[in-house]
Structure 1
Amino acid sequence: MSIFPARLTRGDFAVSVDSLSVEVDARDSVTVIVGTTSGSRPQTLTMAAVGLPDGVTATFSPPLLAAGGSSRLTLVCGSWTPGGIHPVTITATNIDGEAASCFFSLTVAAPEREPGGARVWLHPAGERAQAGFATETRVTVTGGGAVRLAVRDAPAGSRVTFSPTVVYEGGRAVVWIFTAPDTPPGRYPITISATNARGQSGTAVFTLDVATWS
């Protein structure tokens, strides 16, 4: 759902991106710099991205900025994101509902997997949690026969559990990630793997954002 009104009037400011064509691999992330040009008066702009494919999450830093400033747009691509070229619209809107937009193309490269191995899908592919709290994702495995789930690169002091640990082809599992109270804030790419008896495996990356206490 859009955060700006359905009917927009053109603002006296402008918005642009540092690249008109952006490429990213599935299960990876990319950052785009969004710049704005100020108009005839000081105003605060709300940033939004429309047209992202399924499985891609967008985060503006900052999401609100004064006209004339810039924001970093980070796109995190899930393991199930469809490959191809996707047109994305960036819109900046002020408090009066006036807006300016720009466009770029996002090219997603579909993930490769070892022949005969499993393919791992995560939903969601990322979550945000405060230190000391838990978050979860659901794992779906296709191909590879019976596989054993495992995890690596979890934050220090955290605990990860699977239910169940062994999944059969086409099966599902739930993954709980329990962070420690002293887990440092930051972004942690956690790799979840599914390995069969022949040693063939597939992986997916879950992005955990650990937030500071406010």
Structure 2
Amino acid sequence: MNKKLKIYLAIIYSIFLITLIVFAFKFGLKVDLINLLFFSIIGLLISNFSMFFNSMTEISTSMNLPILITVFFLFNPFWAGLISAIGTVAVKFKKKQFVWYKFVFNRADFFLAGAFAAWIFKISRFHLDGNSFPFLSVLLASIVYFLINNLLVYIVINLADNDVNQLSLLNYFRELSKNLIVSYFLGLILLASFIYFGRIFFSLIIILLFTQLSALEIINDFLI
């Protein structure tokens, strides 16, 4: 690990800890434990069973954002950030050495993206959507999540000694933008299902949507 990368990671860790403490005091620790456990578990399942391989960067990117859109709606930014950090832990079955600084960076990255996206959602919802279904505030929160999450990763990739192909920032985001578009519309479907029908129907919709996406990926790979 080079010096620039060490400094960058130290900065991200510091921002993460400061944000964690500030948001805990600002938004409070009161939470619905059932929903907290439900969305953390759902996030873990989605992280480990719905990975989309990105051919340009050789990075697997999960489709957690559709789930997190409902999290932004239900939880304050502190808990939304924690659910984002916990729910994106990838369980590795291959025997690889655990790299603590990568693990901590990923948790910090997802916490910051989830917390600030939820904060933007709370701030913008009344102004953009009022009492109607939050189409615009969800879109804005999704963009914020996408930008923070992927920008932090882009920087760490380009600072690493043995990184993948060096990419321009524009090409990097262009390649990943398809995930944002799909995630936004899936997130709206999941949010509506949770609001109007509850957790059971929400879970059934997840199973239906992601099995269909997996089938489409298999067909696409076969055709290619």
Q: Normalising TM by the smaller chain, what interval?
A: under 0.3
TM-score by length of 1: 0.25
Q: Which has the higher contact order (CA 8 A, sep 6+)?
A: 2
- The higher radius of gyration belongs to 1
More strand by share: 1
